[in-house]
Each structure stands twice: as structure tokens, then as C-alpha cells.
Structure 1
């Protein structure tokens, strides 16, 4: 008996087509972070079958997984890597995050496909707007092929201002060049770009008032050990926690090695009730408590129809992305 993840491929396909129908744009599917914890191989294959023609990853290893999964579509690589031979061999498009990186790569004379990433105010990485002219000059004297320009917005309040900055950058380059700056939170914002760069919304991890998105991932863990306990009994490492009332301790095979934070108050749903853990999360186990009696093999829903990911993120004081990307890649994923 093992904890496992269910991936609803119909919901994934629905989300992809729903976004396409609302925007009439090409979608660059962001599958970094193991496809936001959903499983990069399974998700990418299903998206390709749904018609997706462009993908984005964070590392060469992720790109390699896509190529091994027979994804032949263009892949944009976010990693600032020196392994240019792999970039060329895997036919990747390399993201350029700084003027120095661009200068160094141009000196190698390797004919790489590149896209320039511009910093619109986040201060994380990316070329600064005033460096656009110099970047164009470097590219014009190199073997590099510029296939696009992209950026990331800081927040909705700054969207218009940052879009205007990007518009000025684009004027320096060929006006026919591909560009993308709209991510999941900006799907319905008006824009002339023919591309959207979508991650969280594909997986139903974003609440969109005018787009009907469905959750793709569910998480279940079976009861594999039961202990009857009385109120006040001590449990767990160090016996630092006590049982709130008479009932049962249900051990499930899911712990911080599987993606939980050790100090989390884990919520589970079973037979119409929400139950919680008692004591700290362990590496491979969690002790759940209920006054009601269940049997070995009964499944506890940890993410699903009754414990929606957006509800859970509020309870855990985090965001849906952190919850799903934390899930161990070794957890079994079932496509349904």
C-alpha cells in the first residue's frame, strides 16, 4: 500500500483547450518543477496529444526527459548553463539572462537558438531594458539566432507600465519577432502577442473568474496501521503530543520525504469528515487521528474534490504551486 497521485488527463486537456478558446493564442506549456509536481513525462505527453507545440523547462535534465518522451516540439530552456553542446544536441532554445552571458556565448561561435529575457522590475534576472540595443549589436555579429523576447511581470498593478517598457524594447528589434510576457495570472489581459506562457493555470492551480479551469492532480494515502487510543495518551517522537479524545491513530505512508513540511498540520478527508495529524510529520509516515473507526486499506484524500488545492493552500499559508511542486517525483502517478 502506497501513497499515490491521480492525474486527470481529461481535465488537463480541458484546461489547455479552454485557455486556447478564450485567447486564440499559442500556448507555451511551462513544465518546469516536474510539471509543477504533476509528472513532467506524463503531462508533456498529454499536452502534446492535445495539440501543444511549445514547451518551457528549467533545466537540461528536464529537457532531456521531454526528448526521451518523444516530445520533438521547440523547448525553451531557462537554465543559465555552460553545457552548450547539450543545448545544441537537444535542439533547445537558450534563454539569455544577462549581457555577459550573451557576450560569452557569442564568442563560442556555436550556432544556438536564443531568446532574450528582460527584467521589467523584478530584479531577479534578465537583461535591463537599456541593454537591448547592445544585445542586438552583439547578436548581429554572431552565429546566434534570435527567435524571441520574453519577460515576467511583477504584479497586476504594474502590468500596464511594464507592458509599455516591453513595447519600447520590441521597437529595437524586428517587429515580427515572437514575444511572450503573459503568464497564468494575465491570460485575459489584452495584448498583441500571439503567445501565452502558461504554467499553473494548465494544472488548475489558479482561480480564474472568467475561465473554467479544473484541478488535474489528486493525492491519496491508504491507512496501513491502526492504534486504538484514549484521551491524553502521548504519541509520536518524544511523546510530545497527546490525543485530544478517545479514538484511533491511523498511520499513513506519507511524510516529509514525500513533500510535506515537518511542522504542517496535515488535513485529510475520509467518509465525510476532515481529520488532522497528531504530532510532528515523520520522514515516511504521518499519524492521523479520528474518533471514528476505519479499516486498513481505506484511503484518505489529501488533495482532491473535498480538499481543493486552493483551499489547502490557504490553510497551509502558502500557494498551490509550493504544495504540488514539493511532491516527491518517486510517488506513483496514475493517469486516468
Structure 2
């Protein structure tokens, strides 16, 4: 009987299942929505979905542009040895030889000072995207440097691979202001100097037209993770964090639950403790203590999270080997953890397998 039980249990570790059909649905839907090509933003391990799996999937489906934040993320894509794929690094990198050695790798210019340094370092502007900052305060040439920027571009007759900005997800009116300012400066600089023009992030894709742009930058929305206040019912969620119940113990037999004394944990009418192989060593933060999981279509509270295991208060209906899902309800998870979904999903590290289904 025990031997058969082990066969039924299957995997004991957790995994993130990524729904291939939903990813491709979102990709095609967003392309049709704005009639533009997509720059797929796959930074932070594709927001927890697995950068190599996602890039392989989308490149097979015709996606030619991928954006990352770091050089190490670009290296992971290069390891795939894909043909006709360009990689845009959104942050400034220190090793400029990396650009010179990889002609399909491009970088965003994040300040006027960076532009001057890149020109002095003999980096081809065909590998550079000029970014304009209209008050976002993160990256880009700031408005006070626009006159110097315009003068330099006209004097040297510079042409770039691309030009871009970033709209604010928090305020729709600010998005419209940024769009207008971006188009004005684009006219002053002459849009013919740029092969690629992009400004819409995930919230901006469904909020503003992006007139004059050639591409849209899709990150979280591509995976079905939507900003609060910017919701499109046609977008489908792609991930599922699932595992199986590893062990069940009677609460009356225990003095501790993990590292906590039983008395320190707020208990319910449920009298069983289920153990799962998922903990903060996997990027499942202790802040998740108190979050609800789903087992057999019922909600059960996670009461303790240790490095490699977590513990759930369950009832008699839950059995060893039952499936459990974490973050089933994204809105509830966001409200409880007080952080956006892309933060806690990106924290799930590579000890957890990603599987395209």
C-alpha cells in the first residue's frame, strides 16, 4: 500500500505551471489591439514565469524583440542561440564590450551624460535607444537636458535604433500628458532618426493609443498580470503555483508548528496540520503567513513558513498527496501582502521549476 501511495503522489516539490495557450492568446490579442509589434519584457525571470521558457515560446511564435533589465538576463537569452532575435537592456551596463561583441544586443540611454560617454566610447547608435524622462524619475534624459540633446543630435546628425519613454501607471491624465510631450519632442528631433519608437508599458498598452509608435512594450500584461485600475477582460492569466501535500499531522500531537510554539499561532476549528515543500528559501516570503491556499476547492490558511517548508491548518477532508495551489486569488494576495503581484511572483526563485503546459 505504501508503495502505491508514493506512485499516486507524484512530485513532492512545487512548480509554476505556465499556460502556453494563454501566453500566446495575450500576445496575439495585444498585437491586434494596437496593430503594433511587441517588445516582450522578460526581466526578473519573466516576472517569475521563467525567462528561457518564455523567450523560447514567444520566439517560436514570431516575437523578435525581448527587453531585460540586466546584462546577466541578456546572457541567458543569448545562451538559447536564437536567430533573428534582438535583446534590449533597459538599464545602463558597465561592460560596453558586451555590446560590441553582441550586435543583436541593444541598450537604453538613460541620461544625457550616458549618451556623451557612449559616443566617446565608440558605441554604435544603431545599438542604442534614446529614453526621455518626463518626470517619472527613474531612467531617461530629463526635460532640463532636452535642449542640449536636440542640439547634439542635429549637429552630429545622429540616428538611433530607437526612442522611448515610460508612462505612469498610477495616473491616466499623466499618461496623456506624457504621450503629448513625447510626440512633440519626436517631431522636433525628426522621427526618421529612429527605427523603433515605443512608449506604452503594460498599463499604457490598454489605456493610450501610442500614436506614432512602432512597437508596444508588454511585460506583466503579457502574462495576465494586470495593474489595478487598468483591466482588460480579454487578458488571460498564465501562471499557477502548485504542489502536493507532503504530510499531515494531528494538531493535538504537536507542541510546535515548524519553529513556532503552537500557542503562538492563531488556530481555527481545523485540527490537522499539513506540510508542503515550499518556504522562504524558495522565495515564498514569511510575510505570506496568514495567506489562504486552495486545496480541493476549499480555502485553508498557511500559518507558518520556514526556509524549506510551510504549514497549513486543514480539516479531515485534506489527504496526503492532495494538490494545493498558492496565490489562487491574486487580488486577495495583493491586499494581504500589500505588494503588487509582480513583486511576490518575481521573488519565487529557480529552486521552483517552471513548466510550460
TM-score by length of 2: 0.86
Map 1:117-156 → 2, pairs under 5 A: 117-138=131-152, 146-154=160-168, 155-156=171-172
CA contact (8 A) 1:233 1:242 kept: no
How far apart are the structure 2 equivalents of 1:10 and 1:117? 33
CA contact (8 A) 1:232 1:243 kept: no
CA contact (8 A) 1:203 1:214 kept: yes
Cα offset, 1:30, TM superposition? 0.4
Cα offset, 1:293, TM superposition? 3.9
1:274 alignment partner in structure 2: 299
1:286 alignment partner in structure 2: 310
1:99 alignment partner in structure 2: 112
How far apart are the structure 1 equivalents of 2:93 and 2:308? 34
1:214 alignment partner in structure 2: 236
Return 79-88 or 123-132, whichever deviates more. Answer: 123-132
More helix by share: 2
CA contact (8 A) 2:13 2:243 kept: yes
CA contact (8 A) 1:270 1:299 kept: yes
Query: In 2 relative to 1, CA 285–210 (structure 1 residues): closer, same or farther, beyond 3 Å?
Result: closer
Map 1:62-73 → 2, pairs under 5 A: 62-71=73-82, 72-73=84-85
Return 313-322 or 27-36, whichever deviates more. Answer: 313-322
How far apart are the structure 2 equivalents of 1:302 and 1:125? 34
Cα offset, 1:231, TM superposition? 10
Pairing partner for 2:224 from 200, 204, 221? 204
SS, match of residue 286 in structure 2: coil
Query: In 2 relative to 1, CA 139–87 (structure 1 residues): closer, same or farther, beyond 3 Å?
Result: farther
Moved beyond 3 Å, runs of 4+? 136-145, 207-211, 230-234
Query: In 2 relative to 1, CA 64–8 (structure 1 residues): closer, same or farther, beyond 3 Å?
Result: same
Describe the superposition over 1:274-310 as per-residue Cα deviations: whole angstroms up to 9, x where unpaired: 001123x21111110112243322221114xxx2334
CA contact (8 A) 2:91 2:110 kept: no
How far apart are the structure 2 equivalents of 1:88 and 1:141? 25
Pairing partner for 1:185 from 185, 203, 209? 203
Pairing partner for 1:258 from 263, 276, 282? 282
Aligned length: 332
TM-score by length of 1: 0.91
Describe the superposition over 1:21-47 as per-residue Cα deviations: whole angstroms up to 9, x where unpaired: 111111111001110110000001111
How far apart are the structure 1 equivalents of 2:248 and 2:134? 54
5+ unaligned residues in a row in structure 2: which ranges? 1-11
5+ unaligned residues in a row in structure 1: which ranges? none
How far apart are the structure 1 equivalents of 2:247 and 2:233? 42
TM-align CA RMSD: 2.2
